[in-house]
Amino acid sequence: MKTLRLNSSDRTVLLGSRFFEKLSAAASNAVLEGAVVTNHEEHDVLFHQDETVDSVFCVLSGLVRLYRLGKDGREADIAVFPKGELFGESAMFLGNRATASARAIGSSTIARLDSRNLRSLAETHPDIAQALMELLCRHGQMAEDCLAEDRLLTAPQRVANYILGHCPDGSTTFSFRLPFQKNVLAGKLGLAPEALSRAFSALRRSGVTVKGRMIEIHDRNALERF
């Protein structure tokens, strides 16, 4: 794992993330002070659950998933982060301990923002503190959304919801390409890959067809009624 400085395209990706969108250039530059970039191979672990972490991370390219490990070696995905997303920020306020492990999906480039710098800035910059609180809330809501879906919905319903979340408003027919392999989507939805596959099959009669990563929706209304 090589450590490099941010280059200008790294900065562009970072500054394009939602975290920075309301921050001034000066505040953003202060946050990025001392940030470094690391490159990871597929399956590399960035940090383990309960490990001390002194950075907040951002995906510059690739994908990262957070997961918890069961005693039997199984992994339960907690979240998946695409390019432009920050993660690992809650450790700053939980004794610098990671709440989950993080692993790269495919080759990934990750920015690491210094936690100490960020906390210090948050103390003197209300706008930075605000951006952090919003980030914490979005991530908290994501976990709640997963929990509620797991507890309330069947596999096909979860997949239908996922698809509808990618459907632009107003469209009855639509197609999109999954940004990752299906086994990643399965993990995100709390399913075994076989169950995901069966859920897509079940959705065929509600107008969903699948070819490789391409998902086509022929009747949004049928999907909403699923």
Partner DNA sequence: AACGCGAATTGACCTCGATCAAATAGCCGG
Partner DNA sequence: CCGGCTATTTGATCGAGGTCAATTCGCGTT
Q: Tell which positions 100-129 bind DNA, by CB under 7 A.
A: none
> Which residues fall within 8 angstroms of residue 29, CB to CB, at 6 or more apart?
none
Q: Does 31 bind a copy of itself (CB under 8 A)?
A: no
Tell me which DSSP letter residue 49 carries: T
CB of 6 to a copy of itself, least distance (A): 25
Q: How far apart are CA 55 and CA 31, in angstroms?
A: 12
Q: Which stretch in 8-16, 70-78, 193-201, 208-216 sits in contact with a copy of itself by CB under 8 A?
A: 70-78
> Which residues fall within 8 angstroms of residue 185, CB to CB, at 6 or more apart?
162, 178, 196
Sheet strands (E) in the chain: 3-5, 36-40, 45-47, 55-69, 75-81, 86-87, 101-114, 174-177, 208-211, 214-217
Q: Does 190 bind a copy of itself (CB under 8 A)?
A: yes
Q: Does 146 bind DNA (CB under 7 A)?
A: no
Q: Does 136 bind a copy of itself (CB under 8 A)?
A: yes
Tokens 């990752």 — which residue? Answer: 180
String of contacts with DNA for each residue 173-192, x by CB under 7 A: --------xxx------xxx
Q: Does 7 bind a copy of itself (CB under 8 A)?
A: no
Which of residues 2, 5, 43, 74 is near a copy of itself by CB under 8 A?
A: 74
Positions that interact with DNA (CB under 7 A): 74, 154-156, 181-183, 190-201, 210-214
